[in-house]
Amino acid sequence: MRLLRLLPGRGGGLVLALLQGVRAVMPALTAVAVGRLVTALFQDGGVRAAAEAAIVVAGLVLVDQVAWLMITPVRTLVVKRIDGGLRARMRELALGLPGLDVLERGDVQDRLARAVDPGMGIARERSAGNAAVGQLELVFRVISAVAAAAVLATFSVVLAVVLLAAALGMRAVLRRQWMRIIDKLDADTAGQRYEYYVASQAVMGAAKDVRLYGLSDWFAGRFRAAAVRTYGPVWREMLGVLRRQWAIVGGSLLMGAAVLAAPAVAVLDGRLEPGRLITYVLAGFGVLAISAMGMEAYDIEYGLRGLADADALVEAYGNKQARPGSEPAAEAPGVTLENVVFRYPGAVAPVLDGLTLTIAPGEVVAVVGENGAGKTTLVKLLTGLYRPESGHIAVGGVEPGVRRPAATVLFQDFVRYPASLRENVTGGAGGDDADVREALRQAGGDELPADLDTLLWREGEAGTDLSGGQWQRVALARALYAVGTGRRLLVLDEPTANLDVRAEASFHERVVAQVRDTTTILISHRLSTVRFADRIVVLHDGQVAEDGDHDALMALGGRYAEFFTTQAEAFRA
């Protein structure tokens, strides 16, 4: 019932039910029609009756075939509608979660993967839509068996009842045996994701390395190992089930013999007309058809489990409302962190341990430190993607965990959208082309395509791919465009990582110095890009180790001076 309630009440759902209903009664009607045709053929002078019966049989076959042809597109439409609705619910739920820490939990990822998994596995495609449609198919398969049993009951009620009960019993046994395979598959959802990751990397992600270093066999070995580790228990369970099928085979042979023998004996005894033999034989096999498990059984079981995971996620997190984003800010916000402690799930040591920092509105502050010092983590805390374990954070006087700040961030792993140059800058928000071009100019995008409609997608036939430095300028322009729309907290995380030396040297004058009425946080390992900041903050052991401008920190002779001198010596050499 849970699955049937997913079916749309109008349009596709009703049409699909009607088509399934037509096909459900066809075995019983065909058995009766064929029986009458055979009877008419044995009657003297029954040419007209035989012709009429033949027309009825042909009409039934035609209707059945038309219904079968129409079911496929209608079924696809209904499945996509149900799955689309479920995915929309899961997206809304994910957006309403308090932070990325919940999404990054293994149990949540497994539940989400099972709830919206469109991928193929062994004998299934997990989908709530397929499960709902499969449940509808099963309902009408049972109706079909009952209708065929009703026809058979006109010959023998006992045979019809015994046959129907035995067929349903065999189906129950088969289902219980084969559904154990799904338990084995669901036991390693992470393994299935890893297998897909290895396969996609071998084809696209690491295509250059595969050819340059001859990694084809290495990837193939990794894929085989992942497949064996993930599906080995499934294959062993399948072999075990196959070895236990002798009783089912014997029962099927016995029931088939009963269907053939009982009407045949009645014909030989003269209790049944020869023409009626075919009616009851066809009706009997129509009853036995329910004993066979079709693909709908797997669709139902897989979909139910995915739906149960979706229900569990809704129950656990569905009452959480998405945090509202701040309205465009008219002025730059101040930033305050007081005794902030944060550690990633499962980690022993905190990344930030009592961090205290204040940034004045409109100030340009650079944050530097060794790898793992917590620089990017600090950005995610300021933007509300994570919540601190303890301490207090405020951006513009508001806690990021309560309302997302009007911030824009250029992350190290910025996204390369397969869209036009304009959409890569605006993020699909629209806007005036003059503003887009100004953002590209500020980002130093002189070498980028002049046509804003240029498709930036290397797989596209008319698409254009960019170099690493050009992509970084596009991402930087996206951040600067967002500043122009009122996002007055600008965070640039390694903004010159893909730029050449000349572009890096002019980064401050060309980019940072042109940003007005904005609080800017600049994170970089290349200290030549941060030396002009109003303040430079050095992170160490999760705390602020040094704080001051470039000249003051160089005079201090501490960590910053050591970092800067080491980099400068490399260029002097």
- Domain 335-572 in CATH 3.40.50.300? The answer is yes
pLDDT at 87 over 50: yes
For the record, the structure tokens of 177 come out as 């045996």
pLDDT in tens, 202-252: 777 777 788 888 888 888 888 888 888 888 888 888 888 888 888 888 888
Angle CA 413–442–410, to nearest 5:
20
Supply the angle between the helices 47-96 and 128-153 in degrees, to the nearest 10: 150
Residue 122 has pLDDT above 70, yes or no: no
Task: Indicate if the pLDDT at residue 62 is higher than 80.
Answer: yes
Place 324 in a pLDDT band, splitting at 50, 70 and 90: low
In this structure, the number of other CB atoms found within 10 A of the CB of residue 211 comes to 10
Query: Is the Cβ–Cβ distance between 231 and 122 less than 8 Å?
Result: yes
CB 148 within 8 A of CB 168: no
Mean pLDDT of 547-572: 87
Q: Which residues, 6+ apart, have CB-to-CB distance to 395 below 8 Å?
A: 333, 334, 335, 382, 405, 407, 489
| pLDDT of 232 | 85
Choose between 337 and 468: higher pLDDT: 337
Specify the higher pLDDT residue, 457 or 537: 537
The phi-psi region of residue 542 (left if phi > 0; otherwise alpha if psi is between -120 and 50; otherwise beta) is left
More confident residue, 186 or 373: 373
Q: Which helix (H) or strand (E) holds 230?
A: helix 216-243
Confidence of residue 361 (pLDDT cuts 50, 70, 90): very high
- Listed in sequence order, the residues at least 6 apart from 454 whose beta carbon sits closer than 8 Å to its beta carbon are 420, 421, 464
Residues 477, 472: Cα–Cα separation, whole Å: 8
Position with higher pLDDT, 382 vs 275: 382
Domain ranges of the chain: 4-186+234-317, 335-572
Tallying the residues shown for the chain, one arrives at 573
Average of per-residue pLDDT across 405-431: 85
Long-range CB contact pairs, 458-467, < 8 A, 24+: 459/418, 460/418, 463/418, 467/498
Residue pair 53/40 in contact by the 8 Å Cβ criterion: yes
Task: Give the per-residue pLDDT at 336.
Answer: 93
Q: Domain 4-186+234-317 is classified in which CATH homologous superfamily?
A: ABC transporter type 1, transmembrane domain (1.20.1560.10)
Question: 56, exposed or middle or buried, with CB in 10 Å at 0-12, 13-18, 19+?
Answer: middle
Cα radius of gyration rounded to whole Å, the chain:
34
pLDDT digits (tens, 9 = 90+) for 18-28: 999 999 999 99
Mean pLDDT of 91-99: 80
Strands 535-540 and 543-548: antiparallel
Rounded to two decimals, what is the model's pTM? 0.72
Q: Output the CA angle 18-19-20, nearest 5 degrees.
A: 90
Round the average pLDDT of the chain to a whole number and report it: 85
| Exposed e or buried b per residue across 285-322, where buried means at least 16 C-beta atoms within 10 angstroms of its C-beta | bbbbebbebeebbbbbbbbbbbbebbebbeeeeeeeee
Instruction: Using a pLDDT cut of 90, give the percent of the chain over it.
Output: 24
pLDDT value for 461: 67
